[in-house]
Amino acid sequence: MSDRNVFEDAVTRVERIGLDAGVAPETVDALRQPGALLTADLAVRMDDGSTRHFVAYRCRYNDALGPTKGGIRFHPDVTREEVMALALWMTIKCAVVGLPYGGGKGGVAVDPKGLSRLELERLSRAYMRAMADFVGPDTDIPAPDVYTNARIMGWMADEYEAIHRKKTPAVITGKPILLGGSLGRDEATGRGAFVVIQEYARRVGLEPENTRVAVQGFGNAGYHVARLLQEAGYRIVAVSDSKGGVYADEGFDIESLWEHKQSAGKVEGVYCTGSVCEVVEHRKISNEELLELEVDLLVPAALEGVITTENAGRIRAPLIAEVANGPITAEADSQMRERHITVLPDVLTNAGGVTVSYFEWSQNRQGYAWTLEEVRERLERVLTRAFDGLWHLHQTEKVSIRDAAYAMALRRIGEAIEAEGTRDYFSGD
């Protein structure tokens, strides 16, 4: 998908589902463009004394339901259109799970792997200096995303506090625990996806021991959902990261794959006992091959737009759980429906991250920390309630699960907009 089309694709989906769901035109109009978008040039001193410039973005898409919320990604392919699309998806996502948030997103066009640790810190602090008047605990609350983490969030929070001369832990979520972070935030996206998959499995009688799973993307989210699925009895037969993947019909031990990736920097078919890992029989595959495997459940957990009209006809999994944001384009989604492939949409499946970010924000504002058990219980409660709502719409209105999720979100956003008055109100209809 082209840079321009990623945003157009997101808007097209909102327009189509909004029309089918009977949402007021004012609601769809409000979601056709972002409320505010800031673009900045970050001048960063490099270790060799030179100065490099990086383009940075922050989008506050819609705040009808509350302050905007969304991650910051460091990736060489970050564009204005991608950030706007991600912020729109966050707007829908927060509404689906009933959080008092709108959607936001940010990013820097950079390859963070090419920076030293000191350069990464300077870049992170430069980002916050550029955005310090655009974000805030009651306005727009960032969080980690692709190639950012708790340490980077800690640097940004510290920079914001230095600028505003006061401790403000609620300005950013996904921070280190001792800087106001929440227990359970690192596993939240993967655990949330696991909860959603289990809720679906319970309703359709999907048996874990008879379910073969392929996971594209073995970062934080992909690892945790794979780990939890394996613990529940699912067979993880394929895993990949940006460098490629591995396949074994008998399945892998996820902890071994993760331990080896942390030490070797790549996914390898291994089994580890302590610090000793030995290679097990497996086949090396590409990310594209993984998507087309004959498995029972496909979990795209990498980047957006990996399933398009070009490869949609070759997807053989009957069930897809979108852990990445927007991994299936709108046109390819139509093909999924025509082929009766069930999609558990990203706006619910990966909502665990923003949900626990909301918990962190709440804890920061209360000055009170929750236990890991409390976080996990509340996360499951929020996502189960949301799944119940969209499943009811899916069944009663005979629409896809994605359309049900969007309809539920758009109606909630619409109710907030209508509360302030629409054309029908002011015309007396």
As a whole-number percent, the residues of the chain with pLDDT over 90 amount to 86
Q: How confident is the model at residue 429 (pLDDT cuts 50, 70, 90)?
A: low
pLDDT for 173-195, tens place per residue?
Answer: 999 999 999 999 999 999 999 99
More confident residue, 21 or 314: 314
Tokens representing residue 78 in the block: 């970050």
3-state secondary structure (DSSP) of residue 371: coil
Q: How far apart are CA 329 and CA 179, in angstroms?
A: 38
Mean pLDDT of 409-429: 85
Helix (H) or strand (E) holding 344, with range, is strand 342-344
CB 297 within 8 A of CB 317: yes
Q: What is the DSSP string of 59-74?
A: EEEE-SSSSEEEEEEE
The residue among 426 and 377 whose pLDDT is bigger is: 377
What one-letter code names the amino acid at 8?
Answer: E
pTM (2 d.p.): 0.92
Least confident of 154-158, 194-198, 217-221: 217-221
**CATH 3.40.50.10860, domain 3-171, yes or no:** yes
| Rounded Cα–Cα distance for residues 220 and 87 (Å) | 21
CB of 220 within 8 A of CB of 190? yes
Average pLDDT, the chain: 94
Q: Are 97 and 46 in contact (CB under 8 A)?
A: no
Which of the residue ranges 28-37, 259-268, 307-316 would you say has the lowest mean pLDDT?
259-268
Rounded Cα distance, 384 and 191, in Å: 12
Query: Which residue in 285, 321, 293, 326 sits closest to 307, CA to CA?
Result: 326
Give the separation between CA 322 and CA 192, rounded to whole angstroms: 11
The distance in angstroms from the start CA to the end CA of the chain is 43
Q: Tell me, what's the pLDDT at 426?
A: 80
Percent of the chain scoring above 70 in pLDDT: 99
CA distances from 79 to 55, 82, 331 (A): 9, 5, 21
Give the DSSP letter of residue 136. Answer: B
Asked whether the domain spanning 188-349 has the same topology as the one spanning 3-171, the reply is: yes
Report d(CA 422, CA 13) in Å as an integer: 23
Instruction: Name residues whose C-beta falls within 8 Å of residue 103's C-beta, 6 or more positions apart in sequence.
Output: 61, 62, 68, 69, 70, 87, 88, 89, 90, 91, 92, 93, 94
Each domain of the chain, given as residue ranges in start order, spans: 3-171, 188-349
- Rounded CA gap, 288 and 311, in Å? 9
Could you tell me whether strands 102-109 and 68-75 are parallel, antiparallel, or unpaired per DSSP bridges? parallel
- Of 408, 425, 427, whose CA–CA distance to 417 is shortest? 425
Region 409-413: what's the mean pLDDT? 96
Listed residue (91, 55, 61) closest to 73, CA to CA: 55
Tens-digit pLDDT profile for residues 82-97: 999 999 999 999 999 9
- Residue 2 pLDDT exceeds 70: no
CATH number for the segment(s) 188-349: 3.40.50.720
Q: Quote the crossing angle between the two packed helices 3-20 and 80-96, to the nearest 10°.
A: 30
Q: 210 exposed, middle or buried (CB, 10 Å; 0-12, 13-18, 19+)? A: exposed
Condensed to tens digits (0 to 9), the pLDDT of residues 98-139 reads 999 999 999 999 999 999 999 999 999 999 999 999 999 999
110 and 75 Cβ atoms separated by less than 8 Å:
yes
- What's the confidence (pLDDT) of residue 349? 97
Active site residues: 105
Find tokens 């737009």 and name the residue. 305
Cβ contact 189:182 at 8 Å: no
What's the pLDDT at 176? 96
